[in-house]
A and B are shown apart, each in its own frame.
Chain A
C-alpha cells in the first residue's frame, strides 16, 4: 500500500512540477499586456496521506493537482455563504463536520427552507468514489460542485452571480492568487478549489481501522461478534447479517448501485433509473460507505429510517420482496437453517451486536480535525 501511495504521490508531484514548468514557459513567452506582476509564488504541492490498508485512490484530474493553497481556498469557499442566493447557507450548512458532513435531516434543506427530495450524503473518502451523489450522476468533484450551488432546492444562485459576490469580499483575491497564481476570481477556479478541499476529507482512523491494523483489544467481544455477523453471508450452516456483500472492505462500500427493498414501487425518485432511463435501474441508489454511519442519521436516500436499529429492522424484517428490481442479495439471504424463510432471521442480540460494530466505524479524529473546520 505504501508503494501504491508513493507512486500516486510521485505522479502528483511530477504533474505539479510539469505544470509549473509549462506555466513558467508560457509566462516568459512575452505577454506585454499584463496589468502588472502579481506577488504570488507557485502553490505548494500537497501530498495526501492515504490511511494504511486503503486501496489506491482513483486517478484524479491532471489539471487540478492538490496544493496547500488550493485546498485552503476550497475550505473558505466550502463555508462561504455568499455562494447562496440570500447569503444564508454554504456547502457546510448541509455538510457539517460534526456529523461526518451530513446535516441530521431526513431531506436536505435549501435556501428559504426548500426541501430536497434526498438526504445530504456524507463527504468522506471521495478519492475512491467513481460516481458521486445518490444516483451517480456525476463522476468528478469539479463537475459536481456546481450542482448544489445552482440548484434551486439548494444554494439557488448561479455561480456567475456568486463570483461577483466573492470579488467584493476582501479576502478572496489573495486566496485565489495564492492558489492559482493570479488573483482572478473565476468559476472554474471555485469548482477546482472546492474539489481539492473535498479530496482531503479522508476518514481512516476509526476503532475498526485500528483493529484491522493490529490493535486487537480495541473492540469489545460484542463488537467483534457484530463484525463477524456483518461480514458473513448466511447459508443455513453459518450465521450472518449479509452486510459486507455491499459494504465490505476498507471503504465500506462496493461503489455500486442497488435496490435494497425499501418500497414495492417507486415514486418520483427512481434513482439510477431516472438517470439511465432503464427500467431495470429503477429504485437503485448508490451503496453509501458505512464509515461514520452512527453520525449520519437518518438513513437511506430519503432519510426514511431514523436510527441504526430501524435500519437493522428493515434488512431483517421489512424488505419488500415485490420490489421489481430488488437485489438478489436481498432475496436469497436467511439464517433459517432450512433456508426457507424469506427474511434474514437475525436474533435481537445479533442485531444489537451488528449495531455495536457499526458504531466502531466512527472516526473521532475525522470529525474533529481542525483542517476541515470552518476557517476563523
Chain B
C-alpha cells in the first residue's frame, strides 16, 4: 500500500514538473493574463502613536482618555482600480485583522493580474451576501469572536477597552450587523483609497509590491459624528454603531506609502 501511494505521489510530482515545464516553454501573454502577487501591510495606530493593547492610554480628539484591550476588524472584497476607472476584483478575499496577532496584519494577495493600479478599494466588514451564503469557515468561522449567533451577522469592527469617562469604566464597541428597515442598521462600509501623489502599484511577475496602510483607531470616534464615552460606551449594532461605521469609512484607513519591491 505504501508503495502504491508513493507511486501516486511520484506520478503527481512528475506531472507537476511536466506542467511547469510546458508553461515555461510557451509564453503567450495575450492568451492568458499574467498573474503575480502583492501584499497589504496594516499598521494599527491611535492617532500617530503605535497601538499597544492594555498598557497605553490614549486621548480622543474630544479629550476622552481610553485604553484598548481588543481591536479586530474584517477587510474583504478587495479590488484594485486603474486610472481609467476599471476595477480588478480579487475574488474571495476575506481577512480578519487582529491587533493581538501580528501575522494577521500582513495580507497576501495572490493570482493578481499584472498591471498599473492607482487605488485600492475594499469592504470594511463582511458583505451581507457572503454572510447569508453560509458555509462560513476559517477567518469567517464562528470561533473568531466576530459572529452574532442569534442574528447571524458579523461584527465588522470590534474595539474593547476602558475609559474613565465611561460611567462604568468599560468600552465595548461591536460595530456589527447589516439589517434593520431599509438597512438602517447596516454597518458594512466600502472604502476607496487612491494611492498618494499619483503613485502606482505596479504588479509585475518580477515585482511583489506592498501597500502600507495606516489604520487609525482614533478615527472611530471623530469625523462625521463625535463620540463621547460618557454617553456612548457600549454599542452593539444599532444607531451609534452606524455613526461609528460612518466615522470609520470617513477616515480610519489611509495609504501611508507603497513599496515597489
Interface positions of A (Cβ within 8 A of B): 1, 4, 14, 17, 20-21, 42, 55-56, 128, 228, 231-233, 235, 237, 244-246, 248-251, 254, 256, 278, 280-281, 321, 325-333, 339-340, 342
Contact = CB atoms under 8 A, between A and B. Distances in A.
The prevalent SS among residues of B at the interface is mixed
Contact of A332 (B2, B9, B148, B171): B171
B256 interface: no
A330 B161 CA distance: 11
Contact of B137 (A56, A278, A280, A325): A56
A331 B145 contact: no
B54 interface: yes
Interface in B130-165: 137-138, 141-145, 147-150, 160-162
Nearest to B240: A235
Contacts of B161: 328
A248 B233 contact: no
24 contacts: A4-B137, A17-B6, A21-B6, A233-B174, A237-B238, A244-B149, A248-B147, A249-B142, A249-B145, A254-B145, A256-B145, A321-B168, A326-B169, A328-B169, A328-B170, A328-B172, A330-B170, A331-B162, A331-B166, A332-B166, A332-B168, A333-B172, A333-B234, A342-B168
Contacts of B144: 249
Contacts of A4: 137-138
A248 B142 contact: yes
B26 interface: no
Interface of B: 2, 5-6, 9, 54-55, 69-70, 137-138, 141-145, 147-150, 160-162, 166-172, 174, 233-236, 238
A17 B171 contact: no
B2 A17 contact: yes
B160 A328 contact: yes
Contact of B149 (A231, A246, A280): A231
Contact of A233 (B138, B141, B168, B236): B236
B170 A280 contact: no
Contacts of B169: 321, 326, 328, 331-332
Given A56-B137, A280-B55, A331 B143 contact: no
A342 B166 CA distance: 12
Nearest to A233: B236
B145 A235 contact: no
A172 to B, nearest CB: 27
Contacts of B148: 231
Contacts of B238: 235, 237
B162 A328 contact: yes
A332 B233 contact: yes
B150 A232 contact: yes
A105 to B, nearest CB: 30
A112 to B, nearest CB: 40
Closest 6 CB pairs of A and B: A331-B170, A249-B143, A332-B170, A328-B170, A280-B54, A332-B234
A249 B137 CA distance: 12
Given A55-B138, A231-B149, 9 more contacts: A233-B172, A235-B236, A249-B147, A250-B142, A250-B143, A326-B169, A328-B169, A328-B171, A333-B172
